[in-house]
Amino acid sequence: MPNSSSISEFLLLALADTRQLQLLHFWLLLGIYLAALLGNGLISTAVACDHRLHTPMYFFLLNLALLDLGCISTTLPKAMANIVFDTQAISYAGCVVQVFLFVFFISAEYSLLTIMSYDRYVAICKPLHYRTLLGSRACATMAAAAWGAGLLYSLLHTANTFSMPLCQGNVVHQFFCEIPQLVKLSCSQSYLKEIFVLVVSASVASGCFAFIIFSYVQVFRAVLRMPSEQGRHKAFSTCLPHLAVVSLFISTAMFAYLKPPSISSPSLDLLVAVLYSVVPPAVNPLIYSLRNQEIKDAFRKILLYTLFLHQNYCHHSPKTTT
């Protein structure tokens, strides 16, 4: 059996058996990827350019959009390139980089979602202290902490995963280099160290999840006590999208990394991986903008400004004469 020192590349999971289905998957993935780029790009541009969105909530939303762009760009372009070139290979170094970047973006996003729940808790339960607790310096520090936590967590997992000797071949049963699938390639006892790291990580993630739940219990209690129906509607419109994103992200990611081996299968693993790595970055912009009038207004301004620039360019472009 090959060991890790002799492996120069890994073979990723093919998304379909026939060429026609592979090309169908390519166009589907391309559509999802372009939607994610457009949605997160619009949110980033809107928050950066509209002064009315220069608030803590939208600052964190800008960071979330950037993390989503990084996350989906780590996995889908390589999967689409493999379909186009009809190959399943990814180099050893490419796999290391993919694991590092994916874990970095995913863990930083989870840390940021925890911070965003704290933002909603302070905004609704302690509105008089909002500017004090979430000033510009505090927001920048918390965002930097989320990115830094993702970096440290990714370094730990990447170094630990690729320090294990691999004795079970080089076939990764996933469309990208995913840690649980790489652990399956390790020798009989060497995987215990990574399992320990995963359990510790799951404990930390559970603590963050408990904090999110506590925050939203307090938020909903405060919202239900509001005398104004308009105030309740506005509070729910800012909290429910975040809660939906958190629920989708946490449930699928925890299932992917903590499910028992007895219920594991290639098709189920693929479905769960798509749900936690591809779907959230694509649908998060839709979830956050669907009931948010400020985001819609910012999108409208961007669209009108783009149309104005286009018309102005067409009006002043030189006309050729025959």
Q: How confident is the model at residue 5 (pLDDT cuts 50, 70, 90)?
A: low
pLDDT of residue 236 exceeding 90, the answer is no
Tokens 């090309």 belong to residue: 23
pLDDT, one tens digit per residue, over 43-58 is 998 888 888 888 898 8
Q: How confident is the model at residue 97 (pLDDT cuts 50, 70, 90)?
A: very high
Those residues with Cβ within 8 angstroms of residue 42's Cβ, 6 or more apart along the chain or in another chain:
285, 299, 302
Residue type, 211: F
The secondary structure of 256-317 as a DSSP string is HHHS-GGG--HHHHHHHHHHHHTHHHHHHHHHHHHT-HHHHHHHHHHHHHHHHHHHHHHHHS
pLDDT in the model for residue 190 = 59
pLDDT in the model for residue 1 = 47
Which of 18-27, 61-70, 100-109, 228-237 bottoms out in mean pLDDT, i.e. has the lowest? 228-237
pLDDT in the model for residue 222 = 83
Q: In whole numbers, what is the pLDDT of the chain averaged over residues?
A: 83
pLDDT in the model for residue 79 = 92
Please tell me the distance from the alpha carbon of residue 240 to that of residue 230, in angstroms, as a whole number: 15
pLDDT in the model for residue 316 = 65
* Kind plus residue range of the DSSP H or E element containing 48: helix 19-49
99 and 177 in contact (C-beta within 8 Å)? yes
Give the residue with greater pLDDT, 291 vs 43: 43
Average pLDDT over residues 164-183: 86
Please tell me the distance from the alpha carbon of residue 58 to that of residue 60, in angstroms, as a whole number: 5
pLDDT in the model for residue 313 = 66
Q: How confident is the model at residue 74 (pLDDT cuts 50, 70, 90)?
A: very high
Those residues with Cβ within 8 angstroms of residue 308's Cβ, 6 or more apart along the chain or in another chain:
none
Average pLDDT over residues 159-175: 85
Which of 186-190, 243-247, 285-289 bottoms out in mean pLDDT, i.e. has the lowest? 186-190
Tokens 């990723």 belong to residue: 12
Give the residue with greater pLDDT, 250 vs 178: 178
Average pLDDT over residues 204-230: 83
Residue type, 57: M
Residue type, 275: L
Which of 144-158, 191-205, 272-286 bottoms out in mean pLDDT, i.e. has the lowest? 191-205
